[in-house]
Structure 1
Amino acid sequence: MTLRIVIADDHAMFRSGLRAVLDAQPDMTCVADVGDGYSAVEATRRLRPDLVILDVRMPKMDGLAATHELMAAGNKDLKVVLLTTFDADDYVRKALASGVSGFVLKSLPPEELVTAIRVAARGDTYIDPSVTRRLVPRLADALVPTARPRGAAPGVDRLTAREHEVFLLMAAGLSNAEICDQLYVGSQTVKTHVSRVLAKLGLRDRVHAVRFAHHHGLIEQTDTSGL
């Protein structure tokens, strides 16, 4: 199945570059690229894509307003990924509250952006690792008002020593590339460990891994001092 995508960004060069990256993927095709939020809403209603990528700051209608318009249309299967150069807390809060499936900085490498789109397309949520890492300390109490005693985390005892290391680094907000650097292992190895960790713990994605780690008082064990 080919993922049909609409791109909305007011920078034509960035938009065309992103379209080229997505069209080069065997499972993706860009059905439209537009320069403002109003046009994005119109194109989405007309073409009914599977996923829409919206820049936060655009003329006529910004990405957040366009997201609200698209969500209000009642298409529950539509996925929205927000792109931005600015990772202000207010943007993140409003984006997540609006129900987007992804919040990604434009500085994210193309291969990671493609990963973010695939994560969003399958129904999970992708938050840029740099945003997750910065917000983790402040979000911990909000995510879980009361933490369970350490050691009571179900499924953690099923993880191998290496999977446990990967899990803690994921929970600290590190990307796959950063985990590779931290553990001196290859990218495919990290991807395999991440998949096994999520499966063994019954977690959907990295966001849930962060919540799980904080809920069970595990995040303090993470040591990223080598970064």
Structure 2
Amino acid sequence: MKLSAELVKFSKNLGHEFSRPELLVRAMTHPSMSSPHRDNNQRLEFLGDRVLGLVMSEALFNADKSAAEGVLAPRFNALVRKETCADVAKEIDLGSVLRLGRSEQKSGGRRKDALLGDAMEAVIAAVYLDAGFETARDMVLRLWGERIHQVEEDARDPKTALQEWAQGRGQTPPKYAEVSRSGPDHQPVFTIEVRLDSGDSERASAGSKRHAEQAAAKALLAKVSS
């Protein structure tokens, strides 16, 4: 199989030339484009998630030899979560070569963190199957770069951190409510409010409810912790 010019360029962004180019094609094929004769990237995503996890576990273990498991775990979660994978995918322009069905294209699939993160994991698996663990590890470490060394010591999800803060002070878990939704269907903007028993609250807007909730939680945690 011969890669398209776009995929050849993308493979250069990865820093890997595929001896089995069909693996890269499969990694770039979203389920909305699959058919009985065309594999999608879901199985590769499953494998890539595990390869990424091992790479990051090893990197964090070696980077801080005195860190306890309770410190390493949140750092690990921050490095492997879907948003981080999507950020890396955006840096290498993965969305431009992602093969999507018509409905996903119309709904802005090339910009969706979930799709980009899944595809990034599939790419990791494709490199692993094409050239082995060491090559996949080298690519991941290069693409994640300074994130590995700059990951915050307390890298918990903001919603989890806010809930722990509230419960530690005898309050019930924070309550989240959708205040408004604006924008077209393919690119909505959600505004979420988070409120504590104490009456403290904050609002934030984002392209997904999850991101808006996280941003609101982060803002409220900063407010009550100051």
**TM-score w.r.t. length of structure 1:** 0.25
Higher relative contact order (CA 8 A, sep 6+): 2
Higher relative helix content: 2
**TM-score w.r.t. length of structure 2:** 0.25
Higher radius of gyration, 1 or 2:
2
